[in-house]
Amino acid sequence: MPKITFINRDGSETEIEAQNGLSVMEVATANDVDIEAACEGSLACATCHLIVEDQDWYDKLDSPSEDEEDMLDLAFGLTKTSRLSCQIRVTDALDGIKFRVPEDS
């Protein structure tokens, strides 16, 4: 199973072995990573916003859809590597990726 690391607001890291096919949001919420995920993955909010820690990893992900980009416009702490975690599916190709939880949500 691929390992995904979440960098928490306090700087600590949570490394999780994630099941393929789940969304990164599902992995985060199931493991008590501090994101809200208010719409539960229906692409109706931006509360599952995470920041891909490394540009190279960001470039390996599928491009965000127009709907995701519209929702990202509502996110606090938006960066050039911001994504909605509900829109990223876990695959073996994500093994080693790191996501930062934004300071504000």
CATH topology of domain 3-100: Ubiquitin-like (UB roll) (3.10.20)
What pLDDT is recorded for position 105?
A: 56
Average pLDDT on 14-31 reads 98
Sequence ranges of the domains in the chain: 3-100
SS3 of 63, please? coil
Number of other residues whose CB lies within 10 A of the CB of residue 98 = 17
What pLDDT is recorded for position 89?
A: 98
Average pLDDT on 61-80 reads 95
Residue 65 pLDDT grade (very low, low, confident, very high; cuts 50, 70, 90): very high
Name the pairing type of β-strands 3-7 and 98-100: parallel
Average pLDDT on 47-64 reads 97
pTM surpassing 0.85? yes
pLDDT at position 52 over 90: yes
